[in-house]
Amino acid sequence: MKLVVLAGTPGSGKTSVLLHAIKALIKHGRSPSVVKVDCLWTDDDRRFKKLDIPVHVGLAKDMCPDHFTIYNIDEMLRWADEKGCDVLLNETAGLCLRCAPYPDECLAICVIDVTTGPNTPLKVGPLLTTADIVVMTKGDLVSQAEREVFRERVLEVNPECIIVEANGLTGKGSFELADLIGCGPDAGKDMLLRYNPPLAICSLCTGENRVSRKYHMGVLRNLDGFMEYKGE
Amino acid sequence: MVYDMSEINSLTILGGVNKDGADEPIRSVEITRGEIVGIVGPTGSGKSTLIDDIEQLAQKDTPTDRTILVNGEIPDSSIRVDPRRKLVAQLSQNMHFLADMTVEEFLSMHARSRGKEASLVTKVIELANDLTGEPIAPHYHLTALSGGQSRSLMTADIAVISDSPVVLIDEVENAGIKKQAALRLLAGEGKIVVVVTHDPVLALMSSRRIVIRNGGMIDIITTSMQEQDVCSRISDVDNWLMSLRETIRRGDVVEGTV
């Protein structure tokens, strides 16, 4: 089973890019399935279902969406296997930019919107820097020069990645992406995360909702950068 | 393999399918060095998609199933994506920059991405200022430039930093810049130029124009002598309009100059 984990900032075009890539995968004789993870609500499953492939939705609700994705990877792979598929496309919610939901033995794809400006690649963090493939979307809305500057910035933070310029409206880039997915790795048995998770556990994790600093415990960082442990 | 500018003698578009998946009637178009070819057709007919196919050097791997040959051969895949080896410079429809940087910072970074000298920045700004009535300074913020300023800067950037043997232009009209001067600058010496346009001056400056309908290439029209005649007449009108625009911009009166 080939495992593809697709992440990216909200509105970057993850679903549109994936829809086109799925059509190309089917043309190449693959049987893809999709698990769409979101936080609170999604209706993207209806868009995927139109392609007549197995679709599953997972809502993380009160759990961190990246943690939810990682916790459920085994379950997703089993489900895709039961459906007789050979590719599992996992579209994550990918929100907080602190973490990256990529296991080591998967094809990690980061979708990033060029119109957010060439400083964005510096802000996205491990979601971008640990990806195998970076898909640049909405390039038709900027000049070629701006696309090339953006590309340079992506390569500054992730020199090894393969960059695909895609357009979620026209399907540009979808064949290239499908080819890369076809060459991607099979999911491993004992996979590890590529990027280290944040310092746990903080008092927000345990349900503290009072703002004042005196209520907070854990490994905490001050506005000036000073870190300390407060607690038992 | 890196192509040198002088080594690109022709670009060939092999026909694919239209929006209905049927074969497009024109199966092959060869464009040679020094030629300007137009692309015409209704809005949404697929003109920009053809430009995209050329930009990506499509190999039956885009939704149109077209193939682009360089010098009659399938090009090396490495030149399709790396800006340092790119054959194609593209001026697209958009009229504004979104990058939050100064003109100078942006151009220096673009020069770096293309593996060019940072000293070219001054040249780009000089050329851009030849094309627009509103001067651009290096410290200006890109996002604050007017449509005409952005367009002339993009044009000059293509002529200098993205200097490539193939130039694709997606609509230059109504941009508040000297469009014939812009086209001449972009076409340079011995380049292959493909221009999407509805502008009569630009369309008739091309030697041939490809007609697109429903996603497919349906015809190729060669610009006749009579059409070239029309072209020079409307150029005069066009230049006259441009000069009137400048007069009005300066706050002068048009009366007496006509």
Question: Are B10 and B55 in the same domain?
Answer: yes
As annotated, the residues of chain A forming the CATH 3.40.50.300 domain(s) are 2-182
Contact criterion met (CB below 8 Å) for A201 and A218: yes
Question: Are B71 and B170 in the same domain?
Answer: yes
Task: Calculate Rg over the CA atoms of chain B.
Answer: 19
Q: Is the pLDDT of residue A145 over 50?
A: yes
**pLDDT at res. A225:** 85
- In the stretch 95-114 of chain B, residues with CB closer than 8 A to chain A read 97-101, 106, 109-110, 112-114
Whether A172 sits inside 8 A of B162 (CB atoms) is no
Q: How far is B100 from chain A (nearest CA, A)?
A: 7
> CA-to-CA distance for B74 and B12, rounded, in angstroms?
10
Residue B128's identity, in one-letter code, is A
User: Could you list the residue range(s) of the whole structural domain that residue B150 is in?
Assistant: 95-163
Interface residues from chain A to B (CB-CB < 8 Å): 115-119, 140-146, 148-149, 151-153, 163, 165, 167, 170-172, 174-176, 179
**pLDDT at res. A218:** 84
- Scored b (16 or more CB within 10 A) or e, A111-141 reads bbbbbbbbebbeebbbbbbbbbbbbbbbbbb
- In the stretch 146-185 of chain B, residues with CB closer than 8 A to chain A read 154, 157-158, 161-162
Q: Is the pLDDT of residue A135 over 50?
A: yes
pLDDT in tens, A16-47: 999 999 999 999 899 999 999 988 888 889 99
Angle at B216 between CA B69 and CA B30, to 5 degrees: 30
CATH of A2-182, one of 3.50.50.60, 3.60.10.10, 3.20.20.70, 3.40.50.300: 3.40.50.300
**pLDDT at res. B2:** 52
ipTM strictly over 0.85? no
**pLDDT at res. B1:** 46
Q: Closest residue of B to A23, CA-based?
A: B63
**pLDDT at res. B199:** 86
Question: Are B156 and B170 in the same domain?
Answer: no
Answer positive or negative: Cα dihedral of A8, A10, A12, A13.
positive
Question: Are B152 and B245 in the same domain?
Answer: no
Whether A172 sits inside 8 A of B94 (CB atoms) is no
Instruction: Using CB atoms, pick whichever of B62, B157, B162 lies closest to residue A172.
Output: B62
A58-67 mean pLDDT: 87
Whether A174 sits inside 8 A of B83 (CB atoms) is no
B92 part of contact set with chain A, CB < 8 Å: yes
**pLDDT at res. B3:** 59
Q: Is the pLDDT of residue A94 over 70?
A: no
- Given a cut of 70, the residues of chain B with pLDDT beneath it are 1-6, 81-84, 172-176, 257-258
Question: Are B185 and B126 in the same domain?
Answer: no
Q: Mean of the per-residue pLDDT values for chain A?
A: 91
Lowest mean pLDDT among A63-72, A198-207, B227-236: A198-207
